[in-house]
Chain A
Amino acid sequence: MTPILEVNDLTVTMKRPFRTLTALDRVTLTIGKGEVLGLVGESGAGKSLTGAAIVNLLVPPLRQTGGSIALAGRRIDTLSRDDMRKVRGREIGFIFQDPSTSLNPVLSIGHQLIETMMTHLPIGRDEARRRAIAWIDRIGIPEAERRLDQYPHEFSGGMRQRIVIALALCAEPSLVIADEPTTALDVSVQARVLQLLKDLHGETGVAMLLITHDLGVIAKMADRVAVLYTGRVVEIGPTSAILNSPHHHYTHGLMKATPTPNMQTQRLDAIPGSMPNLAAIPSGCSFHPRCPRSDATCRDHLPRLSGVESGFACWHPLSAGGTS
């Protein structure tokens, strides 16, 4: 079966006067039809960048300089500007992080929904309006017909994010990229928004690239997970497998730093140090300065990912149970 999304050796760079900084280094991942792939890592690891690169919305000076991106078997990174525009929204939906800034403040939400559908679907204004009302209803906002003509500032943060989700899904895409969809929300509404996302995923069968730094979200939502560090995929595989027995020390570190409901007695361990910035990515395995198991090999040689569907990039992988 052809995966819905195939990202192969995706490389994104930023040109500086004396050198070129690499923001994404040969990122490879696939998402099957209807599958949810979680993408985790610390901020600055390149998670959002991966999402932006897939829909070709990189902000200069960032630029894709290598690799390929294919959607349902068709390459989309070589499309013309206008053809790529038709992919966005119609085939790949995008959920932005912060609902307080991602909705246009001077256009009613009905307007934004209707124009999105009319841009992509062969329907008239009346039909689009009818569907917009249905969408508002579907995302759990009461009095849909009245609220259609209201402006973003008249909705709560959680409602706005649900509207953003509706906007991303209203043109019936086969893949949606959700970039930290709950990070900017109050903890109290995060669960509801996540549940909505899960419900809609179940109803529409849309595949999802779920970008987050929260392993709890991953555990709840994702079929598979990819771990990103300094612009490289360091580990990828089925969620349960990775969460139960990570192979990469970075994944392990991330998990130890995440609180879970049934671990009241255990203490949280932060990974020592912090992620280096792009201008100073260490040689070899870029995690080696922070890794408890690093040696000369790690410092000098870059480990390759052991498998595309499921694999890790580490010279001294952890075996099951968490020991090396």
Chain B
Amino acid sequence: MSIATETLSHRNRAIQGLEWLWQSVRTAPGPSLAGLIALSLVLFAFVVPLVISSSPFDPANADLLNSLNPPFWSEGGSMVFPLGTDDQGRDLLTALAFGLRTSLIVGILSVIIGLVIGVSLGLISGFAGGAVDTIIMRAADVQLAYPALLLAMIIDGAMRQALGTSRDTNTAIAIVVVSIGISFWVQYARTIRASVLVEREQDYVAAARVTGRSRLAIIALHILPNIMAPVLVIATINLAIAIITEATLSFLGIGIPLTQPSLGTLIRNGNNFLQSGEWWIVAWPCAVLMLFVFSVNVFGDHLRDVFNPRLRTRR
């Protein structure tokens, strides 16, 4: 309603602080829980491979005697393989951790790529203006013609041809990372550019310029802190999209090669056993994928509402 903070007594401030805390706990128990779930899954993915050093996907570790075991509660299941095993006798619990780890690495790296490209181009576009700005923003428009998934597929296909048969697993993963990451830059660039255009006109930036600060210093001191929040929100939601895209690409057989576990390759592999009744092989990775993406989305949505309810990108 009104101003007058100086008349606020300390007691009142304390009460307002308490109110804020209570409000966030009361209004956002879901997002808090979602964040916790996402965090636990990340820990699971990175800790298990440390404990079990040899990958279940090493052909030397194939255990055909224990192939296609159902989960422990079904007939024929055991606590040795609590979630069952696949056709190669791999323990699905371990496989999930390895798979989720690959998916997370791909997801995080591609978000970073998109973020770095997008923030740089957004800053350039906003500060340079003129033809440079026009070209960058037109490029953004053109790219928007292609949904992220489609773009990733096209880049993946082109890179396959460009790199020919010399691809090894790591190259394949790098291709996936780049092809997913590139589609993300537009959102960052637009947000940053808009923010730069607003901030550029602010008195304090003009003042900083008059006092002889370089553009870079102005960016670092004034603009970057202002755009941290929206960038963080976009990055969170992009992580969910990246993980879905990786899984989709790998499921379609054009992402991560089948020799490397990821959520997508696990589902692709498990899908072969869908018709014959070994449902658990496909069900677990699907469940983990959905749980993780769901948690990240809920958490990201909440972040967005907290930072700025009007952040949605519009055309």
Contact = CB atoms under 8 A, between A and B. Distances in A.
A44 B1 CA distance: 6
B4 A275 contact: yes
A267 interface: no
Nearest to B15: A18
A84 B282 CA distance: 59
Contact of A280 (B4, B19, B22): B4
Interface residues of B, number: 15
B308 interface: no
A22 to B, nearest CB: 11
Nearest to A230: B2
B7 A18 contact: no
B20 to A, nearest CB: 10
A278 interface: yes
Interface string B166-205: 0000000000000000000000000000000000000000
B7 A282 contact: yes
Given A17-B23, A274-B2, A275-B2, A280 B8 contact: yes
- SS class, residues of chain A in contact with chain B: loop
Contacts, number: 43
Contact of B4 (A16, A19, A23, A277): A277
A282 B16 CA distance: 17
Contact of A279 (B12, B18, B22): B12
Interface string B1-13: 1111001110010
Nearest to B22: A17
A173 B18 CA distance: 47
Nearest to B9: A280
- SS class, residues of chain B in contact with chain A: helix
B2 A276 contact: yes
Contacts of A19: 15
A324 interface: no
Contacts of A280: 4, 7-9, 12
A292 B282 CA distance: 79
A278 B8 contact: no
Contact of B1 (A277, A282, A289): A277
Contacts of A276: 2, 4, 7
A44 B2 contact: yes
Contact of A23 (B1, B9, B22): B1
A277 to B, nearest CB: 4
Contacts of A275: 2-4
Contact of B3 (A17, A18, A23, A274): A274
